[in-house]
Amino acid sequence: MEACAVGACSALRPDDYITATHRGHGHCIAKGGRLALMMSELLGKATGYCKGKGRSMQIADVDAGILGANGIVGGGIGIATGAALSARLRGAGQVCVCFFGDGGFNQGALYECANLAAIWKLPVIYLCENNKYAMSTPVASATAVADLTARAAAFGMPGINVDGMDAIAMREAVFEAAERGRRGVGPSLVVADTYRYEGHNVGDGQRSDRAVRGGMPSGRVGDRGRHQPHRGGSRHRVTCRGRICSRQPRANRGSGHARRRPVRVSAATAATDRELTISRALNEALREEMRRDPSVFLLGEEIGVWGAGGGIFGVTLNLIQEFGPERVRDTPISEEAIAGVACGAAVTGMRPVAGIMYVDFTALAMDPIVNQAAKLRYMFGGKARVPMVLRAQEGAGRGNAAQHSQSLEAWFTHVPGSKVAVPSTPCDAKGLLKTAIRDDNPVIFLEHKALYGTRGVVPEEEYLVPFGSARIAREGEHVTFVGIHTLVHRALAAADRLQSEGVSMEVIDPRTLVPLDIETIVRSVRKTRRLVIGHEAVERSGFAAEIAMQVMDRAFDYLDAPIRRVCGRNVPIPYNLGLERLAIPQEEDIITAVREVVRGAV
């Protein structure tokens, strides 16, 4: 199969990009990868391409345009499409070749991304190495269409079939497709008919006899030969000259290299009477950052065409009029493509702000969010940045029923590599979004649909709200309440009522969950000696449990009462407004919980 990689990469410029399949050693070498670094990576050495963090499946060299092999079948498709969009927006004249196997042809990411690339005429080449087997499954058993190039017609792009065993033919086909992309004509599909002589892995019992059954010359198999057992024992000994296999430091298990703090600028404290809604504050943040940094762009469903171009909640209102359709990009309803393209664009120099209309729909985009964006910086040994923001709105209270009302922040806090912001006021919404856009790591930015109309003071001067800095919304003496989104506002209303009973409640808004400012929460608990935590998300495995455990670890001896949670019921959100109200915590639920933990203390 080496002819595919050698022929294709020889047709590219040094600054062009590729994404590879897992164990894409040939692609890496053909694109100019350095053997010493590659072999060190395969051995898990700190001197490897990715400092031993990526290994064979994720080998990468961003400087050489190698955007990573990928352990997920089809995982590089969104990244490649995003890299092509980045090249287009930067006017760099680059193209990206996306290598994938015939198994990747049946991944939904290909169809979402190919459609997007065709609409936007992106310079990307989808190159299928059809080696006749997806792991151990013959291609004829996995697709009803024998001619894989026929699928290109559905996207209005050319489909080219090439002898993948002929490096010259591969070079010519890829060169033609690359020139087409550079001219702005659009993407191409190249299907390279090749063959895999060995099984997918050592556990694959179907070995090199496939070549005979597949009609390939048996002499090619004989030339390769079989591994002979090492005479000194049952295990093979890997030897090579030079420094590659010399004693080298093992990769550091820590991940400190993958975290660069954003500029920590506190929110402005200047007096102002200007009030904005959260929706307007977010719009202002986007506008200011797009004016400040030309690499910032938006993509998402109906962010430019809905009404006056503001999306369903008006956050992107009129931005397309100022910045145009190149930087405010309406997409098809293709969540996996939106997230994957954002990831690829971020790795290659842009700062995308991707919008998923409802957080419920992120389930359709989990691979690029969780397996790609969140992990690339670490897997690439800290040598890549992924400065992307994924905005979504969550929460109940509008009668939107079970598939449009969930609160899923806990999903994302469980994934190392991403940050999670949960603003509840206009001032924080603007300051946190600006910080998120400037961060070099992926940020999941969750807004609550019921709070878009909430008004509050927002300074006119430039300011940022740093991540990992909780806000004490109200000081108190007898109990601490930590709330997310709407629970902050309900807690403040509850605190007013409890004050008349002689109960002084401190209310804390964490503002970000990753990183979490646990120090502020612990200091409050050491003062009040009681803690109640609330969010709309279901109680089971919700983030309240994480906060409670961290407080127990740090302040158990200070607690005078058990920690209480005021969270959503463990049921899907109902459509009926009365039932919906019962499913999510209300002001009365907070008051009841607080009364129980302070009983007899005041």
At 5, which amino acid appears?
A: A
Distance (Å, whole) CA 370 – CA 368:
6
Closest CA to 374 of 362, 386, 360, 391: 386
Torsions phi, psi for 597 (to 5 deg) = -80, -20
Closest CA to 335 of 355, 316, 351: 355
Q: Is 596 helix (H, G, I), strand (E, B) or coil?
A: helix
Residue whose token pair is 């001619």: 147
Rg of the Cα atoms in the chain: 27
Number of neighbours of residue 23 by Cβ within 10 angstroms: 18
The angle at the Cα of 561, spanning 556 to 565, to the nearest 5 degrees, equals 90
- Partners of residue 98 on adjacent β-strands: 19, 126
Catalytic residue, candidates 25, 27, 404, 478: 404
Alpha-carbon torsion angle 198, 201, 202, 207, nearest 10? -20
Catalytic residue, candidates 129, 301, 335, 336: 335
Q: DSSP string spanning 96-121?
A: EEEEEEGGGGG-HHHHHHHHHHHHHT
How are beta strands 479-483 and 531-538 bridged, if at all? parallel
Distance (Å, whole) CA 290 – CA 298:
9
Concerning whether 335 is annotated as a catalytic residue, the answer is: yes
Distance (Å, whole) CA 501 – CA 286:
44
Concerning whether 172 is annotated as a catalytic residue, the answer is: no
Q: Is 404 helix (H, G, I), strand (E, B) or coil?
A: coil
Q: DSSP string spanning 51-111?
A: TTSSTGGG--BGGGTB----SSTTTHHHHHHHHHHHHHHHT----EEEEEEGGGGG-HHHH
Catalytically active residues are 335, 404
